[in-house]
Amino acid sequence: MTEDRQEDLTRFFRESSNPNLEDSFYESLIAGIQIVAQHNCKVRNIILDYALGASVIGLIPIPRLFLLQILAVLILIIKMRRHIRALWGFPKGHDILAIISNWFGSLGCLAIALMAWLTMLVIGLFVPFVDSLARAAAFATLTWAQGQVTNQFYFGSKRLDHLVFRRSQQPAQPRNRRPDHG
């Protein structure tokens, strides 16, 4: 991150929170944001790799291979989810609401993949050979969406410690100094 951008972020945090906090607090906050952003970029690139692999599986033109392709994509998605989980450090202890939301997100991924497949089929009615890409588009969309749902699920477990945040928002207490005897 450039120094100008870092100064802008420091100024933003200083104006939007307690003005009595030291600059080291803001610098550590910005460093934490940079670490999370870099980690998300790494996870995003992994999701993209798996989605491209799933689309390649969908491009295989052998007839009567659909069930085998679906099985291969499901194995790829399971492997991707485990890879993302490993990148987040195998977090545990999610609440029931987060787990239910993850399941609904997975169902939404199926709906999005179905819409991608249907869209490519409809476009294929007007543009020749586009319908042959429908399976690849659906597999890539399904894998991408599953990766994003999984990333958000594990990202959600990295919560802000509310007690530390509240303490940081309180006015700074002056340090006890020994009185001058002299």
DSSP for 43-108, written as a single string: HHHHHHHHHHHHHHHHT---TT-HHHHHHHHHHHHHHHHHHHHHHTT------HHHHHHHHHHHHH
Q: Domain residues of the chain, as ranges?
A: 3-168
Structure tokens at 53: 């692999």
User: How deeply is 135 buried, as exposed, middle or buried, from its count of CB atoms within 10 A (0-12, 13-18, 19+)?
Assistant: buried
pTM for the complete prediction? 0.73
Digitized pLDDT (tens) for each residue of the chain, 182 residues in all:
566 666 666 666 666 666 565 666 667 767 777 777 788 889 999 999 999 999 999 999 888 889 999 999 999 999 999 999 998 888 777 788 888 999 999 999 999 999 999 999 999 999 988 988 999 999 999 999 999 999 989 887 665 444 555 555 555 555 555 555 55
Q: Which helix (H) or strand (E) holds 114?
A: helix 96-126
Handedness of CA 159, 162, 163, 167 (dihedral sign): positive
Q: Which helix (H) or strand (E) holds 25?
A: helix 23-58
d(CA 86, CA 74): 18
